[in-house]
Structure formats: C-alpha cells, structure tokens
A and B are shown apart, each in its own frame.
Chain A
Amino acid sequence: MALSAVIRRFPAPSIVWSQRKCRWVSTAAESRLETVANSPKVPLRREDRDFLDSALRVNQAGELAATLIYKAQMPLLSRAHPHLRPLMKHMYDQEAGHFSTFNSLLARHRVRPTALYPVWRLAATVLGWSTGMMGREAAMACTEAVETEIGDHYNGQVRLLLKMIGEMEARGEEVSEEIRHLVDTVRRIRDEELEQ
C-alpha cells in the first residue's frame, strides 16, 4: 500500500509496513527513504570532485610518509630500546591501516595518486632514519611534531568537507551516503592520529 494512502487512513501512524523491506519500519525513516530514493543521482560538481580528489591524494601521501618514517625508525629504536618495540609496532600498524584505507579509497574513486610518490618515499625514509639515529628523544619529537601537524590537517579537512556538504544542502541537494562515510572515515583517522 502506498505511504500516502496509509497516512490518509491512519492520521498519525508511527510505523508502516514497508513493501520494499517486508517489515514494519518507522514512518519518518520510510518517508525519508522514499523521498530520497525518488531523487535523481548526479555526479558532484567539478570543483567539489576536484577538491575531494585532491584531499584524498594528499592524505595518501601523508600516510605513505608516516608509514615510511616508522619503518625506518623501528629497527634503530627497537635495538637501542627493546621495551619500546610493542609501542612502535602499534603505531606502525595504525599508520599502515590508514595507508591501506586511503589506497582503497583512491582505487575505488579512480583518483590519481601523487606524482611525487618517489620523492616522498625517499624524504620520509631519510627523515625516519636520521631521527632514529639521533636517538629516542629525537625520534619521539619527530613523531609528536608529525602527528600534531597531521591532526591539524585532518581537522581542517573535516571542516572544509562539512562546509561543502552544508553548501550542497543549502542548494537543496542531498549528499550520498559514501560522502558522509568519507567524512566519518577522516574524522576517525584524525582521532587516531591525535591520540598518539
């Protein structure tokens, strides 16, 4: 039975039978789904898409650098301070997880990776190696500086993304689930970076 017919018969139902899902659902949720499902799906505007592409590309480059810094520091620090090994391994695993998240996002949305990939690889390995050689304090200072900078960067990005979504909604457009999921992913990664 159509939702409108249900509402005519029963003035204020809190639940209706959803034919699509074959179960009872709340009226509000079903009406939102129906209105959203009837709207045409269109691609993002050029400037929004370019912004998202560029944001993901920068994030991937950042996580690549972070992963390589830890990879270069780990052998030096864990030999000098074996008790730090589990902590370093935890931090490395976290960064590696972020890196693979962004890699899969780039592949999925067909975004080109950063052109300076080999440059970042070399620079990050050299940075990790030199701070590892300088000792534990230098390595930790490097980590602290990098994580703070990255946290601020992700913060700014989340702000810009929410601003973009706000502008789209002000124009009467709805944002698809994957874009909201993207914002949540960036938020989660920012929180994990700042906790270190």
Chain B
Amino acid sequence: MSALLTADWFQLDTYYRKFDLYTMNWMMDEGLENMIVSGAPYGGPMAVVRDRKQFVQIKTTTKPVITIYNCSGNVISKILWNSGVLLHIGWSDGEQLLCIQESGDVLIYDMFGAYQKTFNMGQEVRDTKVCKAQLFPNPHGIGLAVITTTNRMFLVSNVSEPKARPVPDIPRANEPISCWCAVNSSFIVCRDKEIYKCQLGESRAILLRPEIKNPYTQILSIVASQNGKHIAFFTDSGFLWIGSSDLRNNYCELDTDYIKQPKEFMWCGSQAVAAHWDDTLCMYGTKGNSVAYPYDGPFHLIQEMDCIRIVSEMTHELVQKVPFVVEKIFRINSTAPGSYLVEASKQFQKRSHRADEYIRLVKPDLSAAVADCIDAAAFEFSPDVQKMLIRAAQFGKCFLMDPVITELYVKTCRWLRVLNAVRDPKVAIPLTSMQMRNLGERILLDRLIWRRLHCLAGHIASYLQLKDGRTRVLSHWACYKVTQPHLDNESAAREIGEKLRNVPGISYTTIAMKAAEKGRKALAIKILEYEAHSKLQVPLLLSLGEGPTALLKATASGDTDLVYVVLLHLKEKMGKHDFELTIRSFPLAHALYIKYCASHNREALRLVYVQEDDFQGQAATHICDAIEQTNPGSAEASLISARECYKKGKNELGASVCEDARKLCKQQSSLQETYGTSFVGLSLHDTVKKLLDQGEVRLADKLRSEYKMPDRRYWWLRILKLAEKSNWEELDKFSKSKKSPVGYEPFVDACLKYNKADEALKYLPRCRDEIKIKYYVKAGYYAEAAEVAYEQKDEAGLHFVQNKCPMQDFDNQAKISGLLEQLKIKK
C-alpha cells in the first residue's frame, strides 16, 4: 500500500503531491476557459464570471452573471450583475464576495448572493477609474489594492474596515505599468525593466535593483508569497526569478522555456511557484527544479496559505508540499521509526510474528514514532490512510504510558473526524490540517454557520465541547429561521422556542431584532416571550410598540428603573386616557407613576387619585395644599375639599379633623386681625398657648372647650405657661382653683424646670403617695423624701433615696441610714 501512497508525489526541492479532492458537478455551458474563477481561501466558495476581455458567443444574457459554487461544483447562488463595469472579484476572510467596480465602488455580497453593503475607494478613484485591483492577505485581514487609470495607487488594509489610503506614486507616473503586486501594505510595481516599491506611509517610491543575471526588457508577471516574505517574477526572456520580498536575495533564476505572460502565476506554500500556461501547469521549486503537468482542458488555480487548488471542468485537485512527517513515514526505503511502526502495525493486523520484530526496531524511539504517526494522520486527506496511521499510533501507544501522547491522540482523532466531516463532498470545505489550525474552531463554526449548515455546526460544537458553541450556532440558526418568509409566525416561534430551550446564554433579543428587521413584528414579539433578560427585552418591546407587554415584563423584573423607562415612554406615546388605563392594571407601575407625580406635579397626582376614586389620597393632596397656603381663605377652601374627600371615603375622623382645622383656621384668621400677630398655621395647642401668652385666658378657655381639648392637657399648658412667666402666685392660686385633673406632679415639674425648688415644695405634699418619694428626690429634698419613705414603711424607697442622695451630703446620708436602721428594727 505504501508504494501506492507515494504515487501522487513528485519531486521539486522536496517532495510535493498532487491529488484529487472532488469530482466537479458543475456544468460549464460557456466553457471554463472563458471564465474568471475566484476561489475563497480556506476551501471557501468559488465565484465564476465570464471574462469580459474574451470574445465569446453570447448564449444567454448580455449582463454578466456571477455564479457561486462550492468546492465540489454545486451552485450555491447566482448574482445577476446590474451595476457598473466589474473589474475584479474576490473574497473577504468572512467569505463575502467583494465585487470591485471600475468606479472604485466595492459591492459586498454573501455567498448566497444577498447584497450586504458597499464601500468605495474615495473620490479620486471614482474620478479617475480603477484600472487594476488585487486582494491580498496581510496581518490585518484581507487588503485591497487598486491602481487607477492615471496610475495612482490606493490601498485598504482590511476590507472590513475600509479606509482607502494612497501610496506614493512612481516617477513618471503616466507611463504604463507592466505588472504589479501588493505585499505587506506596499505595492511592488514593475515598468519595463524597473521595479519600484511604493510603501504606504512613505513619501517616495523606492527603486529596487535586484540582481538579475539573464538579460530581459520587461517584467511580465510578479507575485508575492502568501506570507509576504518571498517574491517571484517572470521576465520576457522566459526567466523566472525567485527571491526574498525585499529583492535582495535571489534563491534561483531559471529558464521556463515560455516567453509569454503566464495566465495564472502564484506561490504554492512558500517554497514553490506555480504557473499556468495554456493547458499546462508548471511547478518550480526555489532551488530551480521544475515539473510540468499537461491538462487536457482548461483549468484555474486557487491560492491557499499552504497549497494551491486546481479546478478543472471535471476535477478539483490539491497540490501541496508533502508534510515532513508524512514524508518521513512513507518515503520509499524510509528508516524513520514511524515507518517501522506503521509496518509493525500492519504485521500485527496480519497476525504475523514480524510485528514484534518491527516493534523491537522502534522500541527506543517509540514515543517519537507514535507522535509522528499521529501527526501524519492529521495531514492526510484519505480516511483509509488516516485509519492506517491512527491504528499504528494506537498499536504503538500500547507500549507507552505518556499522557501527552494520549492527549495528542485523542485531540487528533477528534479533529480528524471534524475535518473529514467538513471535507465531505456535501459540505465541500477541503481544509488542510494546517489551515484548520490557523482558522481555529470558532471560525470553522462560523464558516459552517455562514453556509447555513447549522445542524452540522451544532454537532461539531457539541463534539468538540466548545464553550458556548452550541449557543452561537443555535442563535444563528434562529436568526436565519426568522428570515425565512414561508414559515408562519406561530410555528417558527414554537420551533425556535423548542430548539433553544435549555440552551444557556441565548439572546432572544437578537433573534427578535432580526425578525423585526425583516418586518415580522408579530414573530419578533412571540420570540421576545422567551427572553429572560428584561433589560434587553423591554426596550425592544417598546420599539415594537408593545407598550402593555413591555410594562408587564418591566414590572415583573422588579427593576424599577426599567418600569420608569417604560412609563415615560408610554406617557409620551399614548393618549392620556389610554395611558392611565394601561398602568392601572400594574400596581407597581401605578405606584411609581404616583411617586413620580408626587415629586413633580401635585395636580397630576390629584388627577390620578380622582381617576382611581382614592379619596384618602385626594384628601392628602388637599391637606398638603392647605399647609402650604398662607392665605387663610384658600387654606380653608383646601380643607373643605379635603373634608369632602374624607366624607366620600367614609373616614369620619379624617373629616372631623379637617373640619376642626378649617374652623380653627377661620378663627385664627380673625385672631390675627385682632392681635396683629400671625396665628394661621399654628396647631390648636399652640394657638391656645399663644392666647395664654397674650393673657387671654377666657378666649383660651373658649377655644379649649370648643375643640374638646382634654383638661389634662389644658392644665399642663396653664401650669407650664404660668411657670414660664414666673407667675408663682398665680400658679399657687390655680392649683387651688379646683382639684387638679393632672395631679400635682406637673406643678412640681414646672417649678423644677425653672429651678424653683422652694416653690415646688408647696405642691410636693399633694403629690400622689406612690410617687411622692420620687418627686421629693427629684426636687432634691432627700431628708423629706426619706421621711416619707419611712412613714410609708417603704424600705426599697429608702434605698432609692439613699442611692440618689449625693455622697457628699453627709447629713442627709446619715439621716437616711438612721431611718433605714429604724425601719429594719421595726420589722
């Protein structure tokens, strides 16, 4: 079998191999020969359009049609070109088709032919027209370089953030350019014999003087390698010059025997150059070796980072350098340990004892052999070869205990399975293992999503255990689903809901937004039902005009800020009546609206209360009004309104309080006139106090009885007032006027308040017995207090007095102690 394996190998400097990927299904009615084929890197789709420079018999329509095929030649979509003169087509790294027009406008389509967006290269380009354009990979992404008809050059580093910048002109700019290429944000431009480097950001073009041994008059083609490190050009004397991209080092110069410009000219990896002349593919190694492959029909080359692909009418092939490990194992007469291991495994499967001999041969290098087999398997396209190598690795692994190898083994097997899945003709993404590594799992997933292969993407995401991979795939799927017009809202929403249930981190808002963009409002609303994040859900609902639903969600979220946002939005958008009716059914919203009104506008607040028949609330607003009013008349009016509200609300106490307040207000206003000092706003208590202040005892009496002010409080007021005025005689008289309803303790307190202990003494004997001791102590009559306690036979009382009496008061202390003794004896 290993003899067969090297059958498709050929030798340049090292071994290269060329093998079939797919049989093409395409029908080239107009003949592949007359077509421009532009394939996206990383096994992406191919855009095919008729080459307008060639004369052909028009069979269908005069307008160009861009057909997009996948790598096995199945039509993905067709674009009928309606815009201006199409100059160049190519692909972005997001697998979007870039169509560069003469005017410098770049139209971007997705692979399904759906128009995405446009950018242009600036006014100067538009005015002077593009003459040549090229897309080139660079570290920032895919760049676009154009040369105008006036030989001005412009460059965009990354087509996803298009910003056209000019590069310096070459001297004698108006003379025609023979060939050029873009590399590392600079132009390498050839005019006849001269080669200029026009670097972005420099002021002048630099003339490069490479060492070219063979004479020539003009450079016909020039091309840079994908990594931008090498360059190859072809002179009109038929020589191919290969060297470093600064043109200082020449790797080789070889005679091709062709003297016309190659149809296609590109690097294969970074150690070989491929050229397409008529129906022949020529491969040149950097050390001067070459191989030619004649074809019996037209074909086209597609550049990849580590290989080239060849599409012809019937087949799709790949040419690449044979990876070193593969070479090591399968090279004829190889003595590499990997090679022996493969042999051992084969013998083992044949149940031959020679397996043991082979394994003994590799024993010292077994782990290297296993690793090589695993690595080699990764590079293989044929599942059979993969299996053979993996089996060998597995066999070798039995003799090892190396977790690193095991890890590598598992990982590689997993990746191989994914690679085989995407290389399947149905999917047709012929990725090499290197490309896959370069892309990464996330982008691979994206590429499947772009192809709408959601199911496969989902499986791969789960298989590779990608974090949030499934979430991403399913979100995209749902976004795609909502754009499909033939599905009715109900089933689309249901299907999405079912598929996405229990998938964490799905943003239903994004999906709904997509639906809304497509004008499917009803579907958007249905999908939003699934959204758990109210913060995202509510604004979209609002923008969809779903006010009540938004309010429902906002109130349910508990986030008051969100409720406010909805409230204010609705207040603006809805009629007043509708608005009030809407918020009514949401207690939280209603409460917040009331709060908002309360801090902004009392009138609006009152209206809400009126609407709600909330009489207590209404009354409260009226009372607030009354308190703020300085004019007694309007205060009275407000109080009447408040009273009426309370009556309606069956709050009798409230009504009577308001009525009292009104009456009081009226009286106060007349008092104000009589006495010339302000009364309005005072409480009844303070009004009476003020009257007593003025000496109007009778008036005070009148008010007191009118408002049923309790005797207790009135007496307190009188006592405190008299004490305040130091009217001790009056106080004494007052105490004797009738039996005090408050007792005589307040008299004591009042006297003490103004430090009149001697006055207090008048009232102390009349205090209630049970608190007499305390009051004597309070007034500082410790001896008397002690005596009272003694008379009452209150031992605890005596102790209390003893405690309270200051230690320095020796006389009293002694007396108290004496009484204590006596009391004890008595007992």
Do they bind each other? no
